[in-house]
Amino acid sequence: MSDTNDRKILLITGAARRIGAAIASLFHARGYDVVIHFNQSEQQAQALVECFNAQRPDSACCLQADLVAVSQVQALAAAALAWRGGIDVLINNASRFYPGTLGSVDEATWEDLLGSNLKGGFFLSQALAPSLRERQGCIINLTDIHADGGLKNYPVYSIAKASVKMMTKALARELAPLVRVNGISPGAILWPEDDQSEKEQSEAQRAVLRDIALQRMGTAQEIATTAWYLAEEALYSTGQTIRVDGGRTQGNSLLS
């Protein structure tokens, strides 16, 4: 893939940090040119793009958009398409995660969590569908093991991620046979960034690990390699969601 016209193009949302950055790094290392989407993490996004372009000139760019706003999603799609003329792989990774206990949820929380986790990915998929069909590409959606069982005190987030899982199935039907659509359901990969003390985090982690068959946290790299498998190797799979959770879930039931 020496010529830019021969390289496949990845657009990944929420790619400046954490799992998104790991996925972007793996795809770039394996020859993809990459569009890094960010909302607020501009400094990290720019640093990642500079790193990629130092490795292979003009192989990455970053674009800002708030995925809750459909107009910004459409502008993101247009800018991404203009960069190289098309998109081969769309990974809907961006997500907001915070609690909202029943009885305290307001409309703004609902709109924010459903918008960032679900609406943005849907409208971005819709906008990029013609290019993905033309290039016989694929979509990969990041959901969550709590899409199946729900996470206590996070009802809206759980609803949003369950909807992403259904979006994967629905878009697989809508875009077949030219575009494959699959999902990844991570378990305990990276510990949430919150205000817990070190002791509280340690205790919470031990409680989670007790319910994981493999008795360890997963890694962002393991999510990235699953994304690569779905994009480049799972050519006869669509409408599927792969759990990457170390055995924390059995069937449709969450162990904790």
CA distance 136 to 144: 26
Pair of tokens at residue 214 = 């493999």
Confirm if 52 and 60 have CB atoms less than 8 A apart: yes
Confirm if 147 and 161 have CB atoms less than 8 A apart: yes
- Residues near 151 by beta carbon (within 8 Å), at least 6 away in sequence: 144, 157, 158
Active site residue 157: yes
Pair of tokens at residue 162 = 């369950």
SS3 177: coil
In DSSP terms, 11 is beta-bridged to: 35, 90
Confirm if 124 and 92 have CB atoms less than 8 A apart: yes
Residue 89 phi/psi, 5-degree rounding, is: -135, 130
Instruction: Name the residue among 248, 125, 241 with its Cα closest to residue 184.
Output: 241
Instruction: Name the residue among 73, 69, 50 with its Cα closest to residue 60.
Output: 50
Q: Which of 98, 154, 157, 236 is catalytic?
A: 157
Q: Name the helix (H) or strand (E) containing 202.
A: helix 198-209
Strands in 161-221 per DSSP E: 180-186
CA distance 32 to 91: 13
Q: Catalytic amino acids? A: 157
